[in-house]
Each structure stands twice: as C-alpha cells, then as structure tokens.
Structure 1
Amino acid sequence: MMLGKDAHLLVIGGARGLGFELARTAVAQGARVTVTGRDADVAAARAAELGPPARGLACDLLDAGSVGRLFGDLDVVDHLVLTAIERDHNTVAGFRADAAARMMLIKTVGYANAVAHALPKLDPGGSVVLFSGLSMWRPSPGSTTMSMANSAIPGLVNSLAVEIAPVRVNAITPGTVAGTEAIDNADPVRAEFFEAQRLRTPAKRLPTPQDIVEAVLFLLTCSSVNGENLVVDAGAHLL
C-alpha cells in the first residue's frame, strides 16, 4: 500500500525499531517523514540516514511540554503512528511500581495526549495507528506491565475512532517479530519463549519487520478500515 507522494507521516518513536523501518519504507515511497526520539540529536541523526525527505525531532511522551513543542514545529500531519515504548521487564513477584508506572504512562496517557495535540494538525482524511502487542493475550516472562499497557490500546482505539472522526484510528498487534532487538538480545528464558512462539505458528515462521511495515501501511491507507486491531503474528493465536 502506498502513502502517496508528499504525504506527511509522523512516527512517534520512529528513531528506532519497527517505527524506523516504517519510516524507511515511507521515504522510499516519496512521503515526507518525521521521526521522533527522546534525544533530539539521535532523532536528527536517524532522520539523516533516511535522506532529505525525513526530519528528526525530540518527543518525550512523559513530558507534556515536549509533546506540545513537537506539534508546534509541524504543519499538517496526514498519518500518525505511535510506536514509542519503554520496555519494562517486570514480574509480580518482584514488582517495581515506579518502572511500571513510567511504562504505563507512555503507552496510555502518553499516546492519548499525543493524539490530542495532533488533532489540530491532522488532515480529516488522515489516519492514526497505535502499536499494541500480543503480550496482552500471551504474556511472556516478565511482561506484567507490557501485558497491562498493551491491553489498554484497543480500548483507546475504540474511543478515538468515534471521537476524532472522520480521522480513522486503528491498532496493530504484532506477535513475536523476527530480527528485532527484543528477540536478538533476549535472555535464555525469554529466548525459549520466543522459539516456542515460532513453533506454534502454522508455517513455523515468525513475522518479519517488513511484514509489520506492510500491515501498518494497510491500516494507514485503507479508507474503510476503522476502529480495528490487526493481529500480525503469523497465525500463532490459532494453535
């Protein structure tokens, strides 16, 4: 699916990971892209890797002032993707409430606040995609906070899709994605869990980063898809 030449895509959290891969594909399609990270210099450096159509700006979803400054620097936004996350390896037995609160604020209040600030800039024919995660249904070792935060995203999508119409709002729920930092740097216990996820897929393969990118582009551009949560897990939920 194509975003369209000169469409403006804003990826909050796009200076790394799947957000960066999405930005790379969007630039190749001729879109204008803004990627954000907490550090302005890092975001600018990552944008420079993408080429002249890309811009890198600072945005910390835990800082309302930072979010306001971001949108003060932007013109019309055609598509907004929220993929920012602070991974929290947290169990109930050893629960760290402060770390959990930070992560929950980013993915709940932070996401909602970003959309609120984006609203005056969003094109009425545009769209928003929020990243959730399969841990809301299939928790992995240490995913207590992640499971809670990811579970909140579909509810936020439902509310936003009604409240900010005609702008469309959807979620994507990736399963375990091959070749990502979380997989490559997993400790032995989590690596065993991720391998079990691969084996439970019908074709014994995990989705790739490009699979996730293509799914996000579909949600951004298909005008009849609204208020949905697209699960991209290579069918692991079936078995």
Structure 2
Amino acid sequence: MTTLLNKKLVIIGAGSGIAAQLAADAAALGAEVVSVGRPAVDLADEASLAALAERVGELDHLVSLAADPANGPVTGLDREAVHRAFDAKVIGPLLLAKHFAGRFRPGGSILLFSGVAAWRPMPDRSVMAATNAAAATLAEALAVELAPLRVNALSPGIIDSGAWDGPGKAALFESVAARNPARRVGTPADVSAAALPALTNPYLTGTTLHVDGGGRLA
C-alpha cells in the first residue's frame, strides 16, 4: 500500500457528508486536501473544469462524488433534469479526466462514485440506475485508456449522509436495515474506509467497490 502523506487529493462534490468524512480522514493521514463544489466548479461547464485543472496543477488523486438526482416516474421526467444527472455522474467526470489526465504524479488515481441503484433498480430511479451504471463502466474504460493511471469506482448503498434527510427517512432506513445482509444502513465512515484503500492500493484499478451492506443482493 502507498501512503497519502503529502499527497494532493482533490475532492469534487464538497458539501456532502461522505465528501466531508473522506476529506477529514485523508487529512488525518497527511494528505493535502482540496475540496471543491458549487459554485467553485460546475460539472456541466467544461470551461469551469478546465479552469479548475489549471488552478490545481499537479495532483496525486482525484475523487468525484457529485450527484444531481433526477428521480421520479419515467413518464414525468424532465429532460433538463436528466441532462444534469448525467453531467454530474458521467459527462462531468469524463471531462475531469480529459483536463486532469496529464497532471497526475506517478502512482496517482481517479475514484468515481457509482451507486447501488445500478445493480438493484427501483421504481422512480431509472435515471439514477443509468447514471450509476455508466459511472462504473466509465471507470473501467478510463482505467484502460489512461493506464498506468489507476481509475476505480465506489458504489455506496443507502448511507446516512444527509442525502436522505426528510419525511420518510426513518421508515426507509428501517426497511433497508431489515432487508440487507449487514442489517443496518451505512455511514460516511464506512464509505471513506473503502475509498482510502482504493486511492492507495497500487494494484487496484478498473474495479467497482461495493459498500452497500450487501444491498445489491437483497
């Protein structure tokens, strides 16, 4: 395993509970963490991504956690919302790879975020399933094209990260905990604990790590 000590880690999607946990854990291991989110960067705007790459310069690791869900019945989907969902999960990360690819130091890596909906589709989550599946496939394709730069994906399940806060949260979490093999929902710490080895294991690439309590199997 390599180390994060004195490594520059750029996290796209600052503001989420998972991003905050990963930033804190990486900093505790000695990483120089650069966390960015809206309005500092817009994954739907290539010029914004190119400018970010110029500001960052050389780096060791890049993580993209951004998401912009377009949930709801397929019969009522809004085209622009679908476009934003793909910008956040697929097109934006692809363009991040375009503008950052030549800036990674030896041993560097990219970590994209997929999600359990790609393996366990649910009603009203067709766009989420499609974007998450595309993110996992993109990681594989980039791992081949950008080698030896490592590229992996991480697929969280239901995580108590703040994204589910609101009416129905307790019932949802109870249902998830009763159904999945881990018998609980996940935490940002669970996700960070898997993300760190994905960044530092020099023989891990083109892989999707499932941090879902077995939820994709339930």
TM-score interval (norm. to shorter): over 0.9
Give every structure 1 segment of 4 or more consecutive aligned residues whose post-TM-superposition deviation is greater than 6 Å.
none
**TM-score normalised over the length of structure 1:** 0.85
Question: 148-157 or 85-94, which moves further after superposition?
Answer: 85-94
Q: Distance in 1 between matches of 2:123 and 2:163?
A: 13
Does the CA contact (< 8 Å) of 1:207 and 1:233 recur in 2?
yes
**Residue of structure 1 aligned with 2:162, choices 181, 185, 201:** 181
Q: Distance in 2 between matches of 1:232 and 1:88?
A: 22
Q: Letter of the aligned partner of 1:21 in structure 2?
A: Q
Q: Distance in 2 between matches of 1:106 and 1:233?
A: 21
Equivalent position of 2:71 in the other structure: 89
Q: Given the superposition, is the C-alpha separation of residues 62 and 221 from structure 1 closer, same or farther in structure 2, using an over 3 Å criterion?
A: same
Within 5 Å, give how 1:1-12 maps onto structure 2.
Answer: 3-12=3-12
Residue 87 of structure 1 deviates from its aligned partner by 2.4
Spell out, residue by residue over 1:32-62, the C-alpha distance to the aligned partner (whole angstroms, 9 max, x if none): 01111112xxxxxxxxxxxxxxxxxx11110
Mind listing any 5+ residue stretches in structure 1 that lack a counterpart?
40-57
Q: Distance in 2 between matches of 1:198 and 1:139?
A: 18
Does the CA contact (< 8 Å) of 2:70 and 2:77 recur in 1?
no
Equivalent position of 1:208 in the other structure: 187
Does the CA contact (< 8 Å) of 1:11 and 1:35 recur in 2?
yes
Residue 114 of structure 1 deviates from its aligned partner by 0.5
What RMSD in Å do the two structures reach over aligned CA positions?
Answer: 1.8
Residue 194 of structure 1 deviates from its aligned partner by 4.1
Q: Letter of the aligned partner of 1:195 in structure 2?
A: E
Spell out, residue by residue over 1:163-215, the C-alpha distance to the aligned partner (whole angstroms, 9 max, x if none): 1111111000000012x212222x43x76444322211224112211010010
Higher relative contact order (CA 8 A, sep 6+): 2
Aligned length: 218
Equivalent position of 1:35 in the other structure: 35
Residue identity (%): 38
Q: Letter of the aligned partner of 1:131 in structure 2?
A: F
Residue 101 of structure 1 deviates from its aligned partner by 1.3
Within 5 Å, give how 1:118-133 maps onto structure 2.
Answer: 118-133=100-115
Residue 96 of structure 1 deviates from its aligned partner by 1.4
**TM-score normalised over the length of structure 2:** 0.93
1:223 equivalenced with 2:205 (yes/no): no
Question: 16-25 or 211-220, which moves further after superposition?
Answer: 16-25
Mind listing any 5+ residue stretches in structure 2 that lack a counterpart?
none
Equivalent position of 1:107 in the other structure: 89
Does the CA contact (< 8 Å) of 1:90 and 1:96 recur in 2?
no
The alignment partner of 2:25 has SS state of helix
Residue 89 of structure 1 deviates from its aligned partner by 2.3
Does the CA contact (< 8 Å) of 2:116 and 2:215 recur in 1?
no
Q: Letter of the aligned partner of 1:199 in structure 2?
A: A
1:154 equivalenced with 2:133 (yes/no): no
The alignment partner of 1:183 has SS state of coil
Q: Distance in 2 between matches of 1:173 and 1:7?
A: 24
